[in-house]
């Protein structure tokens, strides 16, 4: 229980820091252009920026500098990572009152929830092997997991208490 509370506090502190807040009452600079992720073809740069107190995802055309907003909702969307084909972005979000992993189809802006565990799932990376790797505290300890985009083949990559 203490580990879970610590993990939730850590996630809350990270989100507060991203939004420019501090637990010590200080207001930091506006946090924009965070966690950049370059598309496989090198044309687009995905990132998160705070908008109206929430983190949203954007994609910026590297050549023209024109940015497009990819998400718009009442949740924080963060940690973007492109699919190997460059057509989708995996990201973490605190939608549905929990931090889980989602996939955004860039062309349609449609999102779908990839993970649904009660634990915190965050830091997704879409690898060239097609699997999505992420951190989770679902076993009451932070571990690395992998899953395919169709939600199959979920596997714990690390299952030991030591690195």
**Residue 5: pLDDT band with limits 50, 70, 90:** very low
pLDDT for 19 beyond 70: no
pLDDT for 13 beyond 90: no
Q: Is residue 162 part of a domain?
A: no
Q: Is residue 18 part of a domain?
A: yes
Q: Is residue 110 part of a domain?
A: yes
Q: Is residue 143 part of a domain?
A: yes
Q: Is residue 163 part of a domain?
A: no
Section 18-46 average pLDDT: 78
What is the structure's pLDDT at 46?
98
**Residue 27: pLDDT band with limits 50, 70, 90:** confident
pTM: 0.84
What is the structure's pLDDT at 26?
65
Radius of gyration of the chain (CA): 16
pLDDT for 87 beyond 90: yes
Q: Is residue 142 part of a domain?
A: yes
Q: Is residue 161 part of a domain?
A: no
* Domain boundaries, position 55: 2-156
Q: What share of the chain is helix, strand, coil (3-state, %, to 5)?
A: 10, 40, 50
Section 16-33 average pLDDT: 60
What is the structure's pLDDT at 54?
95
What is the structure's pLDDT at 23?
37
Tell me the pLDDT of the chain averaged across its residues: 87
Range in 3-12, 88-97, 102-111, 118-127 with the lowest mean pLDDT:
3-12
**Structural domains of the chain, count:** 1
CA distance 135 to 122: 5
Please report, for the domain that includes residue 73, its CATH number: 2.120.10.30
How is residue 64 written in tokens? 């023209």
* Listed residue (122, 135, 138, 142) closest to 12, CA to CA: 122
Range in 15-29, 34-48, 55-69 with the lowest mean pLDDT:
15-29
Q: Is residue 65 part of a domain?
A: yes
């Amino acid at each position: 229980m203490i580990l879970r509370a610590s993990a939730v506090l850590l996630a809350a502190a990270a989100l507060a820091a991203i939004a420019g807040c501090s637990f010590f009452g200080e207001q930091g600079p506006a946090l924009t252009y965070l966690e950049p992720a370059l598309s496989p073809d090198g044309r687009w740069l995905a990132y998160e920026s705070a908008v109206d107190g929430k983190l949203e995802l954007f994609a910026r055309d590297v050549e023209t500098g024109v940015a497009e907003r990819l998400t718009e909702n009442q949740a924080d969307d963060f940690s973007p990572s492109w699919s190997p084909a460059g057509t989708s972005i995996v990201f973490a979000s605190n939608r549905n009152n929990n931090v889980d992993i989602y996939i955004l189809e860039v062309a349609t802006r449609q999102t779908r929830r990839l993970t649904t565990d009660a634990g915190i799932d965050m830091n997704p990376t879409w690898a060239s092997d097609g699997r999505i790797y992420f951190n989770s505290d679902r076993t009451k300890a932070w571990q690395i997991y992998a899953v395919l985009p169709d939600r199959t083949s979920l596997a714990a990559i690390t299952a030991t208490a030591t690195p």
